[in-house]
Structure 1
């Protein structure tokens, strides 16, 4: 019997983790992500695995965003020792992501333990270490897209381009049960078809069960043209006000798309005189990996813009400044106007963007532009929801900066694209909706049934379904 048990990203957007059981294959974990917005002390003391990591035979990883991969070091720390299958680009990006996350984790842990020491409390022990990250990297089994590989007797895995970020994959898992082949398709995160950089998600036709994301299942994005116009107008108004712009952006995906959009505006003479600061060592390193893969990405969007020796980091955006050291980042604070700052984290749960907020969020001349999904409980979501005061580094700070949201830059498919992707399956599979808040998943389920007669299921944490 083949089953799936849901341990994360069910009726919520983060923490992707689904356990596939097959008598022929054993225990297979699809993703091992963390819940974004949680601080280190909560992650350590409260979030334990609801299964035995030693019993997991292998992991299949959809992509490198931390809500899909962030708990892999903890999985190995707790005893997992099997292979981790992923795409080639994901294998290149994963060390950048995991070592950056480790640094933030250790800083948070030190800070928390200093507070505990002052109260006479014992230290919280680290839940994973650099050695665990290195062990994760040793377990990686990189595969090319469309490369069908045997992972057990009568069992195969094959990755297809999900179009979400570099290396993101739709997973096609085939197992043999009682002489009969069964196929599970896990969408991972499906990309927005209206982008400059990424290819469109691949559509598949055969499955017995489809695990499908529904982050934006109840809404549509603005068109790329409308979004670029909106960005141009917001930037121009901010420039006229004499302010600065802060854009929280994920190091993988959003940052690279933004550089393309800003370069396109500059080439059209629509960027005013903004000085663009990419204030993220991780994003700079990630973008260099993207540059290696540019020939494989969206030909219409990228090749028309990046020609010859041009790359996203070289000669494409003439006013781009790469801020690697902390001193470089702090120097931006001296600029009174005309600075466009791209920094992490994308949901404002830490990183350099929070320092820029502290210096600028109280000034009405300044603008914050959100270009990606903001999960419940994150500082980004609190600001998008209209907070007038926020807590930053222990201080209560008034919010007077202009808050703008551009969901047309989302890396996730909107409702129509999700419905279209699901409609391509010809084998009448069981469709299960994950990775979305309840309203989004119910909206998607209603639309799937209304347009295509697909009766989708929405599991809760700990549910087990057979396929």
Structure 2
């Protein structure tokens, strides 16, 4: 069996992390993540895996975020019968995140099927259900940090703290091979230095081949203290509330929610934000906060995970409680999932507040290209939510003080212990500008540019030992599921179609009279008729 590596996700894009390592001893996956972003990319979630799930002997998770774990229930449904490994905290988070992802898919499909029935279109089914996700949890075993174990005979692995979110790890793997063992490092997502709740990431040891994330590979951030970060948040919230409306904060249920709630609690204890009602409209975030409490000893601040203890926040568990928030038009800070606005309760709060000039949408995290969050953050005048056209008249603000990813200099520093003997360095989990920026920085740090590779989706690499070192050599292996230009597109035709509908409506409304509207529609019909010839 050829010793090879196959990149099935997070190639030229930041989601869908999935890397297949084929060894003479068996095959394993590092991560099995959901694609997020434009519909063309998300459509991959519904397609068959580009490999036989029954042939996978083991899965190793770097962390619990859905873009690294969210297709695991689908893998088990498709025939996977091996073992899966994660840190204890990651396993505990997945107990909540995976079933929630299944429930979201069920709800979204139910809404879509109601629309399809009216249009006479076929019924669709979810990728997996809540029950499917709950069943998949039985495959997952926990492993401690920093201890070698064998996911399969002939392959050793070790989980090291990545400092990204609770339980996050980068993974060192050693494969028995001739003329000497092959040593690989999979970075997962590497956290920044001085993160709010997490200790600084550990440093990797020697490696022959490394896969390194490049989300913020083109960015440098000024160091910021805990007090400075909290002050930035406080100023944004105070100005937003002074405008007279609500503040909607799209958040991820894991880590970002806990960080922001902790800082809001400190601001309130310091006399700030008096009178503001703070809502956490995410049952999932409430449950994952319990996981933070369970694992608080691993956090960099012992008080982390106690954000609810002071009674400063109202947790909305039920749909009725969520709807009640929608009847508040001023003075509320609403934290709701999901962080990229593509699912969950935040979409309802956006419908309630986007069109209000006195409301504020405050982004505190990364927005993948093509997501609703990216469209709003990018300045869209109108967006479509649940099939409705919503004008964007609210204040749209963004702060980057709660990032979970290392910047360019931090990534180069993290890689430095591996650089001397490195045969190949594969840059994944990044858009082209992030990959290019990190590639240039690594070259400036002394890495031979010929050894830095940016894989494309489904690309295969064969491991070759020559001149005393292992290298990963790309090998032609047929057509990828998406061409590179589609996999890393900031928009796809679905985004353009939605924008065109909004543009047509705007043009019709702006026309001086019905005759002009009739001429516009006639011209559109003419163009459509010509395009079909």
TM-score with structure 1 setting the length = 0.93
Structure-2 separation of matches of 1:336 and 1:461: 45
Partner in structure 1 of residue 88 of structure 2: 88
Partner in structure 2 of residue 399 of structure 1: 392
Partner in structure 2 of residue 264 of structure 1: 266
Shift of 1:368: 0.9
Shift of 1:41: 12
Are 1:175 and 2:169 an aligned pair?
A: no
Report the more deviating stretch, 225-234 or 8-17.
Answer: 225-234
Partner in structure 1 of residue 486 of structure 2: none
For residues 161 and 171 of structure 1, do their structure 2 counterparts lie closer, same or farther at Cα, with a shift above 3 Å needed? same
Partner in structure 2 of residue 457 of structure 1: 453
Shift of 1:121: 4.0
Matches within 5 A, 1:234-383: 234-298=236-300, 302-303=301-302, 305=303, 311-315=306-310, 318-383=311-376
Partner in structure 2 of residue 74 of structure 1: 74
Structure-2 separation of matches of 1:263 and 1:211: 38
Structure-1 separation of matches of 2:318 and 2:130: 22
Count of residues paired in the alignment: 457
Shift of 1:276: 1.1
Partner in structure 2 of residue 2 of structure 1: 3
8 Å CA contact retained: 1:423, 1:452: no
Report the more deviating stretch, 373-382 or 270-279.
Answer: 270-279
Shift of 1:64: 1.1
8 Å CA contact retained: 2:57, 2:152: no
In structure 1, list runs of 5 or more residues that go unmatched: none
Shift of 1:207: 0.9
8 Å CA contact retained: 1:60, 1:86: yes
Are 1:424 and 2:417 an aligned pair?
A: yes
What are the Cα deviations for residues 351-397 of structure 1, in whole angstroms up to 9, with x where unaligned?
11111111111112111111111001100000111111111222211
8 Å CA contact retained: 1:27, 1:55: yes
Mark the structure with the bigger radius of gyration: 2
Structure-1 separation of matches of 2:420 and 2:110: 53
What are the Cα deviations for residues 25-81 of structure 1, in whole angstroms up to 9, with x where unaligned?
x11111111111366996488533111112211111111111111111111111111
What are the Cα deviations for residues 216-235 of structure 1, in whole angstroms up to 9, with x where unaligned?
00002354344433222111
Partner in structure 1 of residue 230 of structure 2: 228
Are 1:437 and 2:431 an aligned pair?
A: yes
Matches within 5 A, 1:61-140: 61-140=61-140
In structure 2, list runs of 5 or more residues that go unmatched: 464-470, 472-533
What are the Cα deviations for residues 200-254 of structure 1, in whole angstroms up to 9, with x where unaligned?
1110121111111010000023543444332221111122222211100000111
RMSD: 2.0
Shift of 1:15: 0.6
Structure-2 separation of matches of 1:369 and 1:454: 41
What are the Cα deviations for residues 261-311 of structure 1, in whole angstroms up to 9, with x where unaligned?
21222233233332211110000000111011112111xxx23x56xxx82
Structure-1 separation of matches of 2:45 and 2:3: 33
Structure-2 separation of matches of 1:284 and 1:127: 25
Partner in structure 1 of residue 185 of structure 2: 185
Partner in structure 2 of residue 49 of structure 1: 49
Partner in structure 1 of residue 440 of structure 2: 446
Structure-1 separation of matches of 2:312 and 2:103: 30
What are the Cα deviations for residues 291-345 of structure 1, in whole angstroms up to 9, with x where unaligned?
11112111xxx23x56xxx822212xx4211111111111112223211110000
For residues 102 and 292 of structure 1, do their structure 2 counterparts lie closer, same or farther at Cα, with a shift above 3 Å needed? same
What are the Cα deviations for residues 155-190 of structure 1, in whole angstroms up to 9, with x where unaligned?
211101111111111111111013621111101011
Structure-2 separation of matches of 1:451 and 1:365: 48
Structure-2 separation of matches of 1:47 and 1:345: 23
Are 1:29 and 2:19 an aligned pair?
A: no
Between 1 and 2, higher relative CO (CA 8 Å, sep ≥ 6) is seen in 1
8 Å CA contact retained: 2:102, 2:132: no
8 Å CA contact retained: 2:36, 2:42: no
For residues 375 and 42 of structure 1, do their structure 2 counterparts lie closer, same or farther at Cα, with a shift above 3 Å needed? closer
For residues 173 and 375 of structure 1, do their structure 2 counterparts lie closer, same or farther at Cα, with a shift above 3 Å needed? same
